[in-house]
Chain A
Amino acid sequence: MKATVTVELKASVLDPQGKAIQHSLSSLGFGGVEDVRAGKLFRIVLADSGQTREEIETQVRQMCERLLANTVIEKFSYTLEE
């Protein structure tokens, strides 16, 4: 099973890095870039241990909450694939 986790700043939190990227895109001549938010992507390969999909989801969610995201400022989402 493979999990792909995305972590990004909450919408309410300013993202100066995203802003800087947005400005750079504009100065490169890409018109119409209204907003950029930067984030992190984690590809996690999980060994097959006979767990159900629900159990794996719970585990991935705990990984996000305990380490991958700082939920004070960040939100996370994930997808699972065989």
Chain B
Amino acid sequence: MKFGVVLLPGSNCDHDALHVAKDVLGADAEPLWHKDTDLKGADCVIVPGGFAYGDYLRAGALAKFAPIMEPIRRHADAGGLVLGICNGFQVLTEVGLLPGALMRNQHLRFLGRDVHIRVEETDTPFTSLYERGQVFRVPIAHGEGNYYADDETLDALERNRQVIFSYSDEEGRLTSDANPNGSARNIAGICNRARNVVGLMPHPERCSESLLGGASGLLMFKSIAASLARV
């Protein structure tokens, strides 16, 4: 079982993800350079946070032409696991692996703080060890995290239970006050139809050790490991 963490020019959370996979979880993990054309045997590819290609044009827009994206697309099409965190989520929507788009935060400010998210679905390889409805505290750090899709797409996401995480208050209520960035229907993270690709704006890799104030994010890495161990 191996994690591959994509290193795009401007990625800056790659080491955090590698650290959690390797040192905290104890799994095999390797960086994947953006010019690489194979995934070095990675079972789960993580597209980490950061500012790939300086966020030029649109966040994530230029990353879709990185050579590493082609094998990632093939991996995803074949049912392999792909996780996009923050900028990685933006990249996955631009690449077309996930529906919708991430727009400028509603109040135009970059947000770097903790929020609460509610786990909506646990039948994905990324969330199997969470409880449905579980609320946990997790850091966000983004200027463009305002999830948008047209109503038809949003309805389809809900119908197919593709909304995986929602911004909520501490008690799990999806209020507008709990929505930090104006995301449609409080959406914080989604998966694709086949449930093997997940993207979320919050940073689970930044809350995977109690030393750093919380370890709820580690359950995502543990879920991935557990589902890969079953294959």
Contacts and interface: CB of A to CB of B under 8 A. Distances in A.
Contacts of B201: none
B98 to A, nearest CB: 11
B108 interface: yes
B148 A13 contact: yes
Interface stretch (A28-36, A47-55, A67-75): A67-75
Given A16-B106, A16-B107, A17-B108, A68 B57 contact: yes
Interface residues of A, number: 12
Given A12-B150, A13-B148, A70 B94 contact: yes
Contact of A73 (B103, B105, B106): B103
B58 interface: yes
A72 B182 contact: no
A25 interface: no
B61 A67 contact: yes
Interface of B: 57-58, 61, 93-94, 99-101, 103-108, 148-150, 182
Best-buried of B93, B104, B105, B106 by chain A (most CB within 10 Å): B104
Contacts of A20: 108
A16 B104 contact: yes
Contacts of A9: 103
Given A12-B150, A67-B61, A73 B101 contact: yes
A72 B150 CA distance: 8
Contacts, number: 32
Binding site of B, secondary structure by majority: helix, strand, loop or mixed? loop
Name the 4 nearest CB pairs between A and B, nearest first. Answer: A72-B101, A73-B101, A16-B106, A70-B101
Nearest to A9: B103
Interface string A39-78: 0000000000000000000000000000110101100000
A24 to B, nearest CB: 12
Contacts of B58: 70
B134 to A, nearest CB: 30
A67 B61 CA distance: 7
Contacts of A12: 150
Contact of B57 (A17, A67, A73): A67
A67 B62 CA distance: 8
A67 B60 CA distance: 11
A70 B182 contact: no
A17 B104 contact: yes
A70 B95 CA distance: 10
Contacts of B101: 70, 72-73
19 contacts: A9-B103, A13-B148, A14-B182, A16-B106, A16-B107, A16-B108, A17-B104, A17-B108, A67-B57, A67-B61, A70-B61, A70-B101, A72-B93, A72-B99, A72-B100, A72-B101, A72-B149, A72-B150, A73-B101
